[in-house]
Amino acid sequence: MDRIVSSLDLGSQTIKFLIGELSDGNASIIGVGTVPSKSVSKGVVIDLNKASEAVMQAKKVAETMAGKKAQNVYVSVSGTHIFSLNNKGSIIVSKEGREISKDDIKRVEESARVLLLQANQRVIHSIPRQFIIDGQGGIRNPIGMSGIKLEEEVHIVTGSSTVLYNIEKVISMVDLKKEAFVLQSLASSLSTLKEQEKELGVALVDIGAGTGDIAIFVNGAIAHTSVLPIGGEYITKDIAYALRISLDEAERIKKDFGFAITKDNTEGSNIEVSRIGTEEKLTIDSSYLAEVITARVDEILQAVKLELIKSGYWGALHSGVVFTGGCSKLRNFVKRAESILEVPVRLGIPRGEYTFSDILSDPEYATSIGLILYALSEGSEQKRPRNPFSGFSWLKDIFE
């Protein structure tokens, strides 16, 4: 039975709406709608009416392209209101030790989810990391095994009830039904990371316009997530202030001419820009533009490095760091990252053969495509993995 699902990525710069068709363990994307965002800042809705108008516009574009109506939507969440931690639950299976059943799994999961939440926090994810039977760890599926004490480690992600409620309100205003909230970095990890990278230890860093979302995987399981208030809009603002030009003009020259400085840079060229409030044109040297950009890029990368070190998993990142999101497309960003982080770095481009590959093979769409893959994992009941962020081997048909 074919199933139509949609994904909504509420960015600070653009709102992206995808419609996907799921059938036989495969996902195909049949509609894409992207509109400018003026109503979301760093993952928080700042104007309900403008946000709902933008979502409606993106939805209509995607529906026209797909020739189908969107009803159920998976929504990415980000922002500094997100909080995450690793927690552990434990139960006694029986004093004599017997085979572990599904009921035992349910009990230990409930125990691991017991958390003293701050007022105004709501659980978004509770993701299994590993099971431990009588002190023996690294177990992924304990059903049928024998033991006395069963423990489970989980990664719990929470968000502000107020922020989540306002996003839900926007969704209801455009006649959509929210299926699930998905942390942005986790959605992006589904479309950009390889299983081998997760096994060896990898950090995914999704840098958009307003936020930097980090997810660290070790031994194939999620180990740490966090959100930093950093992004490409800071680079745009720096350019606007330095050259006294509008934000729109700054964004244009960043995309068309901007680059980060590296050892093998070629000499600069002249760029013509429009001065704010006048018809006057200004000629600047691209090497000056690169200096302005590089100062902020370095600050962003230093913040990422500090967060990776603080996580306690810096030494476990044997596959290095994968950067995705719109900001990572800046020319020489990945090279600059490699020299500052001093670990292997690559650009995360969503994998897969899609009808609109020319549009979607872009780091900007990592989250949107990841949300469709999350929907696919939730809908595949027969083969459904308990943890949609590990054990995705059955999805390989899509990619290989």
Q: What is the CATH number of the domain that holds 111?
A: 3.30.1490.110
Give the pLDDT of residue 13: 95
Q: How far apart are alpha carbons 210 and 235 in whole angstroms?
A: 11
Q: How far apart are alpha carbons 163 and 97 in whole angstroms?
A: 45
Of residues 154 and 27, more confidence is placed in 154
| Residue 136 placed within a domain | yes
| Residue 188 placed within a domain | no
Return the minimum-mean-pLDDT range out of 198-207, 348-357, 375-384: 375-384
| Residue 200 placed within a domain | no
Residue 392 banded pLDDT, cuts 50, 70, 90? very low
Q: How far apart are alpha carbons 151 and 222 in whole angstroms?
A: 17
Residue with tokens 């093979």: 361
Give the pLDDT of residue 386: 42
* Angle at the Cα of 28 from the Cα atoms of 129 and 352, rounded to 5 degrees: 65
3-class DSSP state for residue 75? strand
Return the minimum-mean-pLDDT range out of 3-17, 134-148, 164-178, 256-270: 256-270
| Residue 308 placed within a domain | no
- What predicted TM-score, i.e. pTM, was given to this entire model? 0.92
Across 208-231, b (16+ Cβ under 10 Å) vs e yields bbbbbbbbbbbbbbbbbbbbbebb
| Residue 148 placed within a domain | yes
Q: How far apart are alpha carbons 12 and 209 in whole angstroms?
A: 6
Residue 232 has pLDDT above 50, yes or no: yes
Q: How far apart are alpha carbons 117 and 389 in whole angstroms?
A: 23
Which of 17, 21, 11 shows the shortest CA–CA distance to 60? Answer: 17
| Residue 100 placed within a domain | yes
Q: Which amino acid is at 362?
A: D
| Residue 134 placed within a domain | yes
Q: How far apart are alpha carbons 172 and 178 in whole angstroms?
A: 8
Range of the domain at 139: 83-160
Of residues 339 and 398, more confidence is placed in 339
Give the pLDDT of residue 354: 63
pLDDT tens-digit readout, 98-124: 899 999 999 999 999 888 788 899 999
Q: What values do phi and psi take at 47, rounded to 5?
A: -155, 105
Which of 98, 55, 62 shows the shortest CA–CA distance to 76? Answer: 55
Give the pLDDT of residue 395: 35
Q: What values do phi and psi take at 284, rounded to 5?
A: -125, 160
Q: How far apart are alpha carbons 172 and 365 in whole angstroms?
A: 24
Residues of the chain with pLDDT > 90, as a percent, come to 81
Return the minimum-mean-pLDDT range out of 22-31, 44-53, 183-192, 233-242: 22-31
| Residue 378 placed within a domain | no
Q: How far apart are alpha carbons 276 and 44 in whole angstroms?
A: 29
pLDDT tens-digit readout, 54-102: 999 999 999 999 999 999 999 999 999 999 999 999 999 988 888 999 9
Residue with tokens 């020299």: 339
Q: How far apart are alpha carbons 390 and 400 in whole angstroms?
A: 18
- C-alpha separations of 249 from 78, 256, 258, 328 in Å: 27, 10, 12, 20
* Mean pLDDT, residues 365-372 taken together: 96
Would you say 11 and 209 are in contact if contact means Cβ atoms under 8 Å apart?
yes
Q: Strand 149-160 relative to strand 83-92: parallel, antiparallel, unpaired? A: antiparallel
Give the pLDDT of residue 358: 76
Looking at the 3D structure of the chain, how many domains does it have?
Answer: 1
> What is the rounded average pLDDT for all residues in the chain?
91
